[in-house]
Amino acid sequence: MIFDMRLVSWTLLLLVSCTTYSSTALGKSENDIKTSVFLSPKFELGPGSVANKVYFDVDIPRGHIAIKSFNAEVVDEAGKSVPLQETYLHHWIVVKYHQPKNVSHNNNQTHIVELRNSGLCQENVLGQYFGLGSETRGTATDIPDPFGIEIGNPSEIPYGYEEKWYINVHAIDTRGVEDRMGCTECRCDLYNVTTDENGKPLSPSYKGGLDCCPDDSHCRLEKGFNGPKRSLYLRYTVKWINWDNHVVPLKIYILDVTDILNVSKGISPNHTCKVEYQVEACSKGYNSSSACIDVKKTSLPMQTGGYVIYGFGHVHSGATAATLYGQDGGVICSSIPKYGNGTEAGNEKGYVVGMSTCYPKPGSIKIIDGESLTLEIRYNNSQMHSGVMGLFYMLVAEKLPHNL
């Protein structure tokens, strides 16, 4: 698809809400893959500042369709990709919700009913349909035929409601900061934050994480550094086809290595996902000639199984692998982070710029109902890492088409 940057620059001058450009080719049938590119509302960042924004009722292709790919990145007003060493993309997520037709757009989420994925975490924790982080440019998200993620099914939308979507984008401007990696890991001492968003004092053992880099916070700059503010956007690209009986629907599961499962007799399992955790540094007796790896595991029962079609891990800088195992100990998917070695967008040195993905041959990996899976996350802990994540995103088909 050819993306005309002159068109983007002109359009940004008039931007009020999300804007869409469609690349559907003329002469193709309605069910060929279509591509739409959208821009979020703008957010402004100065050196060291943080944007953790939620934008409701964003543009998504409408109608009863199947999503075939969803990806995003941060761009400037000219539509140019912004490198991670300038603006770190901590995460972006896309969440589906229902809202009454007679209720106007509402940033306070009044009357909104969030619709989570099929994952195991409690309530709406990690309930997004789509989302990535710094690895977004280098991680494949294409879904193979004949599978797709179904959205816009009118039979699933209650009478009097509409299906809508919101985006949360968390970006950190690290131009001129004292400790760039510390800022991306949201180290509390660099942000001078001592309470959470509700005003509750943070535990002394909490060294860093989401509570220390909220919206409009600032990471400590080098003495005397000054720099301009700039307007940025999340540009997200969606590939999709019209829904028909030949598309096989997929379920979305997001597993969390911090998930603590509480099981009581006669009561459904209770999951507690903390989303992030801290990796402690090796002991002082660490021999630098040996591996220094922190290994975190959790085992999670899948009440409903199916066939694994796609998977990848989400981790932060310092990670070496995210691996999902079946109950028999066999590897379902091992997702390895790719680190950049340059300065250009998509190849930033020291940052996770991509994750390897798994596309098992359909039908080759089946999770049985009630099977317990093990998620293992590995981080190099030659130094401490705060606010890290160890997630696994998996697409599962409950059935396969007859011709596979």
**How far is Cα 253 from Cα 394, in angstroms, rounded to an integer?**
5
Average pLDDT over the chain, rounded to whole?
A: 90
For residue 1, is pLDDT > 80? no
> Does residue 59 have a pLDDT over 50?
yes
What DSSP designation does 25 have?
Answer: P
| Whether residue 66 has pLDDT greater than 80 | yes
Tell me phi and psi for residue 344, to 5 degrees.
-75, 155
The pLDDT of residue 364 is 97
Element (H, E) at 182: helix 180-184
List of long-range contacts for 288-292, beta carbons under 8 Å, 24+ apart: 288/382, 292/380, 292/381, 292/382
Q: Which two tokens stand for residue 145?
A: 């035929």
- The model carries a pTM of 0.90
Q: Is the pLDDT of residue 326 over 60?
A: yes
From residue 400, give the alpha-carbon distance in Å to each of 158, 250, 300, 396, 403: 28, 10, 24, 10, 8
CB 188 within 8 A of CB 206: yes
Distance of alpha carbon 339 from alpha carbon 266, whole angstroms: 46
In the chain, CATH 2.60.120 covers 248-397
Integer Cα distance of 277 and 265 in angstroms: 29
- Confidence check: pLDDT of 166 > 50: yes
For 117-148, letters b (16+ CB in 10 Å) and e give bbbbbeeebbbbbbbbbbbbbbbebebeebbb
- Strand, helix or coil at 384? coil
Residue 16 confidence (pLDDT) = 33
Six token digits for residue 10: 């002109």
Cα–Cα nearest to 323, from 288, 278, 293 = 293
Find tokens 């879904």 and name the residue: 143
**CA separation for the pair 354, 362 (Å, rounded):** 24
Q: 51-65, 91-105, 214-228, 364-378: which range is least confident on average?
A: 91-105
What DSSP character marks residue 212?
Answer: G
HSE, side-chain direction, 13 A CA sphere, residue 350: 9
| Cβ(359)–Cβ(395) below 8 Å | no
pLDDT band at 108 (very low <50, low <70, confident <90, very high): low
pLDDT of 403: 74
User: Does the pLDDT value for residue 236 go beyond 90?
Assistant: yes
Say what the pLDDT of residue 24 is.
Answer: 34
Give pLDDT tens digits for 6-33.
Answer: 333 333 333 333 333 333 333 334 579 9
pLDDT of residue 23: 36
- Report the distance separating Cα 133 and Cα 136, nearest Å: 6
List beta partners, residue 9: none
Confidence of residue 175 (pLDDT cuts 50, 70, 90): very high
**C-alpha closest to that of 49 among 133, 174, 222:** 174
CATH architecture classification, 248-397: Sandwich (2.60)
Name, in order, each residue with C-beta under 8 angstroms of 284's C-beta and a sequence gap of 6 or more: none
Q: How many CB atoms lie within 10 A of CB 355?
A: 25
Question: pLDDT tens-digit profile of 352-390?
Answer: 999 999 999 999 999 999 999 999 999 999 999 999 999
Residue 152 has phi, psi (to 5 degrees) of 75, 20
125 has pLDDT over 60: yes
Q: How confident is the model at residue 171 (pLDDT cuts 50, 70, 90)?
A: very high
Question: Where is 265: in which H helix or E strand?
Answer: none
With CA atoms as reference, report the closest residue to 202 among 52, 192, 390, 172: 192
Those residues with Cβ within 8 angstroms of residue 95's Cβ, 6 or more apart along the chain or in another chain:
114, 115, 124, 127, 128, 129, 165, 166, 167, 168
Q: Who has greater pLDDT, 22 or 168?
A: 168
